[in-house]
Amino acid sequence: MKSTAELIDKRIKSKAKGTILFPADFTDLGTSEAIRLHLFRLEKEGLIKRISQGIYVRPRESKLLGTLTPSAEEVANSIAKRDRIRCIPTGSYALHALGLSTQVPMKIVLLTDGSSRVIHIGNRTITFKKTTPKFLLTKGKISGLVIQAIKEIGKDNMRPEEEQRILYILKKESSKNLAHDITLAPVWIQKIMQKAQAHE
């Protein structure tokens, strides 16, 4: 019969390089203490890399860049999947996700129906901010992001070229999701998004 350590090793080696790992991924293989100690050992050996408290990765190597660390966005998505929580990007992260800003945000803020917490990934932070379910009811990934991006730009601050860019992006959203999500936006944002419906 294989030991907890051998089973953990086997499972990690079956994952693609670059896969994000959590201690919870191995709870069926042994006690939490045995898992924690073995992950610590594997980190020392270089088989896995710790990127934040309780978050590891099976490292991927690049000849040019050396060890590649997952992006903060990949970590955020993995946490959301692990915890089965809904979340939506806000602020400068929403602008960047839509291509409305080329600046990579150092602070990612996500509205969530899970618990509030802050995770540090290198010099970047991911903040999960608990919100009311109403803000997570959007069906379209694009239209949901657009609502948050317009909020970040602010009422009366949008330049004509930004509005045109947003209307172009909204064309990629399904008309059904767009119609649903418009009703969830503040009235001043609804007026902007409705222009995308008029151009269909």
Number of structural domains (the chain) is 3
Q: How many Cβ atoms from other residues are within 10 Å of residue 200's Cβ?
A: 8
Return d(Cα 89, Cα 112) in angstroms, integer.
Answer: 9
Share of the chain above pLDDT 70, in %: 98
| The pLDDT value given to residue 199 | 61
- What is the token pair recorded at 106? 């150092």
Return d(Cα 189, Cα 47) in angstroms, integer.
Answer: 48
Return d(Cα 190, Cα 183) in angstroms, integer.
Answer: 7
| The pLDDT value given to residue 60 | 86
Which residue, 66, 86, 112, sits at the end of a domain? Answer: 66
Q: How many Cβ atoms from other residues are within 10 Å of residue 82's Cβ?
A: 13
Q: Above 80 in pLDDT, residue 67?
A: no
| The pLDDT value given to residue 152 | 94
Return d(Cα 68, Cα 164) in angstroms, integer.
Answer: 36
| The pLDDT value given to residue 62 | 78
Q: How many Cβ atoms from other residues are within 10 Å of residue 44's Cβ?
A: 9
Side-chain-side CA neighbours of 188 within 13 Å: the count stands at 9
Compute the average pLDDT of residues 113-125.
Answer: 91
**Domain CATH code at residue 46:** 1.10.10
Structural domain of 53: 4-66
| The pLDDT value given to residue 200 | 56
Kindly report the average pLDDT of the chain as a whole number. Answer: 91
Which residue, 109, 135, 161, sits at the end of a domain? Answer: 135
Q: Above 80 in pLDDT, residue 66?
A: no
Do residues 113 and 130 make contact, with C-beta atoms less than 8 angstroms apart? yes
Structure confidence by residue, pLDDT tens digits, 129-145? 999 888 889 999 999 99
Q: Give me the amino acid identity at 75.
A: V
- What is the token pair recorded at 195? 């222009």
Compute the average pLDDT of residues 98-125.
Answer: 90
Q: Report residue 11's pLDDT band, with 50, 70 and 90 as the boundaries.
A: very high
| Same domain as 169, residue 125 | no
| The pLDDT value given to residue 35 | 95
| Same domain as 106, residue 162 | no
| Same domain as 193, residue 154 | yes
| The pLDDT value given to residue 31 | 92
| The pLDDT value given to residue 63 | 80
| Same domain as 19, residue 40 | yes
| The pLDDT value given to residue 183 | 94
| Same domain as 49, residue 80 | no
Side-chain-side CA neighbours of 149 within 13 Å: the count stands at 25
